[in-house]
Amino acid sequence: MFDFEALSQAIPRQTVLCVGDLMLDEFVYGEVSRVSPEAPAPVIAVQRSETNIGGAGNVARNIAALGARCIFAGLVGEDEAGAKLKADLAREKLIEAVLVSDSSRPTTRKVRFVSEHFSTHMLRADWEQAVPASADVEQKLIDAILPQIARADIVLLSDYAKGVLTARVIRNIIDAAKKLGKRVIVDPKSANFAIYRGATLLTPNRKEFAEATRSRADTDLNIAGAAQDAMVLADCEAMLVTQSEHGMTLVARGGEAIHVPALPVKVRDVSGAGDTVAAVLALSLAAGADWETALRMANAAAAVAVGKKGTATVTPAELRRKILPHASLAAEEKIVPAGGDLDAHLAEWRRQGLRIGFTNGCFDILHPGHVKVLTAARRACDRLIVGLNSDASTKRLKGEGRPVQDEQARAEVLAALEAVDLVAIFEEDTPIELIAKVRPSVLVKGGDYTREQVVGHEIVEAAGGEVVLVDILAGHSTTSLVDRARGGKA
């Protein structure tokens, strides 16, 4: 059984040795304003730019983002880009960089020009020397890497064919890891899978797999057949073929193929998604996951990564939201305690141009009347925030013996409803301060109120919002329910 909670607790205890081609990723964002008069090419009006640790360094960043430790070994040139990468890696608390300098080559640098509005890559410019490391640099890499293997729980080779993972470096690492009983995951670039002989798992994409196996790789059945032959050649235990929007297929040696479809997501940028997959696979396997569990973890992580711009990392919270059923996220993801931070939720919803709605109450015992108001409120907006009176506030309003359920219990019941996007607990007698902070586009209450009686209507209407009154469902009252339960008169 897939126990995500246990796995997520085990992952931060792992250490991954990641070896591969380090590069500086730069993204220049702007809008396409016109076609250049000098050439038939678009002109981008640059608005902003950002740089990230890329290539195998992005694998290391993803490992660290999930709370695990990464020993990262790679190669840099003695130039400005190399200095920046060293400085950026030094700021990563969970990454220990073991870098070899090579004065004969530039640090690999990739600059992507991206249309901000459409998230479309218009052009990429590369600075690189994609040749194998020289014999002396190769030996320096081997000498730096081998002592680190004993310190790691698993080894990950991220091959971008830029010169670090030569056949000799690969052979030394895999042989040393096997002697120490360490599994080796390889994200391969070479079409000759035999150079990775003895690795535990290879993770080619469909294009790489088709080229290496000389197969069409167009169906799960074709992939499964070609993978069995390739695993004999590579002497590996399993092979995972990533297929972008078509999901992922994992084939264990001598076993049946496991296919998982891609999770539905709005794709913003596929840069570095393979790095995320490799990182999550390695961590999941190191933490004790079986093949299928590791596959499903990686598939969910890829869905998060491609929904972001640039070479992105994935956090435990994002992975949790993607994997677990929505209702199970209620307490942790949908409840903001009194005085808690609403800003992150509000900023993201406003950035997306969503219409925010608000309603409030004690909701001591949830009944059909409440549900009607909440569902009607959700129909009037894109995201619904429910202000919930705290225990002290409810007691002041309703008297001794109330609330029947404490605020956490009431919040969890509300948060489990599909109509509710966020529950915000407040201590005051009225939600006026909370409404001023949320600044909702629509304020909803039951029809037993008039517009003038709705707390916060002035704030909402002054900002161009509206007040919506929902007809209440007759015969339903929390007070009458409490009286009946206690043997009193309704």
Structural Rg of the chain based on CA atoms: 28
CA distance 230 to 252: 11
DSSP-derived secondary structure letter, 271:
T
Positions at the binding site: 205-208
CA separation (Å) from 153 to 37, 88, 144, 180?
Answer: 57, 25, 18, 10
Query: Which of 414, 427, 419 is CA-nearest to residue 331?
Result: 414
Q: If you write DSSP's letter for every residue of 87-141 in order, what string do you get?
A: HHHHT-TTEEEEEEE-TTSPPPEEEEEEETTTTEEEEEEEE---SPPPHHHHHHH
Answer whether 158's CB lies under 8 Å from 275's CB.
yes
CA distance 212 to 207: 9
Answer whether 18's CB lies under 8 Å from 69's CB.
no
Query: Which of 322, 326, 318 is CA-nearest to residue 419?
Result: 326
153, 187, 275, 391: which is the annotated catalytic residue? Answer: 275
Sequence-ordered alpha helix ranges (H) in 23-79 = 56-65
Positions at the binding site for ATP: 205-208
Answer whether 427's CB lies under 8 Å from 393's CB.
yes
CA separation (Å) from 427 to 334, 337, 390, 463?
Answer: 18, 10, 5, 25
Active site residue 275: yes
Residue type, 440: P
Q: Could you give the residue numbers annotated as active site?
A: 275
